[in-house]
Structure formats: C-alpha cells, structure tokens
C-alpha cells in the first residue's frame, strides 16, 4: 500500500497536509495565548460605561472589542448583544480559551459579555465602581444569568 501511495505521489501530499494542519494548530494556539495574555494585561483597569480603552476604562463589550482589536486586529460590534449576534453559537461544553461568554445581567438577553480563559473562569469588566477581573462561572450569580457561549471566527494571519 505504501509503495502504491508513493508511486502516485500521495505520500508527499499526505505529508504536506500533515504539516499544514500542524502549522495551523500552532497559529491558533499562539493566537489564543496572545489573546488571553492581552486580556489579563488589562486586569485592574476601571469600569467605565461606554469605555473602549485602557486609558479611560472599559465597559464589558468595550473590553472584548479592545482585546480582539489589539490581539488579532479584528473589530467586533460595539454592544454585547451585537457581539453575540455576529459570532458562532457553541455549546457551553465546547468552551475554549478566547471564546465569548454572555450573561443576562440587566433583565435582557446578552446584556453582559466576557472572555473565557479556561478552567471555568472568564475575564470581564463587570460594573461601575469595579475593574477588569477574572471570575468563576460556577458562582451562582453567573450560573443563573448565563445566556450562552460564542466563538469568534478569526482567520489565521496570512491564511484565507
């Protein structure tokens, strides 16, 4: 079988596909690490309604917008519900670092957003008088208000 595949040039093609998949996996892992690292770099930045910068402060969606823009150059919609509508729905069990998590904190769906960092935790800019921080999604407050998880479709740089 191996000789047949070699004669047809398929072993080379198979090897090329393996390398391509491995290269893409490294790009995704690096991008995820950068995304979470940049998000963590904003810990302690104060909440500011309508805020979109570390200098003046963030609201929840402004924080997510800034992290994605800084890390991958992607401009997400401004509001949490718009961010939910523009991203791919995933099951909570499929959450991976860098995915978005949404909550109903203002009596309407998708009124709050954060970035999943792994191990059941997310980073966000919670509310007035507070600052960017990491929280546990298993806390009853967040469990009761969980609205869903979304994945941002980000193309690898240099990839179509």
Residue 124 lies in a domain: yes
The residue from 19, 26, 108, 112 that is catalytic is: 112
Per-residue HEC secondary structure of the chain comes to CHHHHHHCCHHHHHHHHHHHHHHHHHHHHHHHHHHHHHHHCCCCCEECCCCEECCCEECHHHHHHHHHHHHHCCCCCCCHHHHHHCCEEECHHHCCCCCEEEECCCCCCCCEEEEEEECCEEEECCCCCCECEEEECCCHHHHHHEEEEEECCCCCCCCC
pTM for the whole structure: 0.82
Domain tally, the chain: 1
Residue 157 lies in a domain: no
Residue 159 lies in a domain: no
Q: Which domain holds residue 42?
A: 2-151
| CATH number of the domain encompassing residue 71 | 3.90.1720.10
Residue 158 lies in a domain: no
- Answer yes or no: 112 catalytic: yes
pLDDT tens track of the chain, all 160 residues?
556 555 555 556 556 656 555 555 555 577 899 999 999 999 999 999 999 999 999 999 999 999 999 999 999 999 999 999 999 999 999 999 999 999 999 999 999 999 999 999 999 999 999 999 999 999 999 999 999 999 998 764 443 3
- Answer yes or no: 19 catalytic: no
Residues 47-90: tens digit of each pLDDT: 999 999 999 999 999 999 999 999 999 999 999 999 999 999 99
Residue 37 lies in a domain: yes
- Answer yes or no: 108 catalytic: no
Residue 12 lies in a domain: yes
């Amino acid at each position: 079988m191996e000789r047949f595949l070699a004669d047809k040039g398929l072993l080379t093609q198979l090897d090329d596909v393996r390398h391509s998949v491995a290269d893409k996996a490294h790009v995704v892992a690096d991008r995820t690490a950068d995304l979470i690292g940049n998000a963590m770099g904003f810990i302690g930045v104060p909440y500011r309604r309508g805020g979109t910068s570390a200098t003046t402060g963030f609201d929840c969606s402004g924080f997510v917008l800034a992290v994605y823009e800084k890390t991958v150059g992607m401009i997400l919609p401004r509001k949490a519900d718009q961010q939910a509508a523009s991203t791919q729905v995933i099951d909570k069990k499929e959450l991976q670092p860098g995915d978005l998590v949404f909550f109903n904190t203002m009596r309407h769906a998708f009124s709050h957003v954060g970035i999943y960092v792994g191990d059941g935790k997310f980073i966000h800019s919670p509310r007035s008088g507070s600052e960017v921080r990491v929280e546990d999604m298993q806390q009853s407050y967040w469990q009761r208000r969980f609205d869903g998880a979304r994945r941002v479709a980000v193309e690898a740089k240099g990839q179509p």
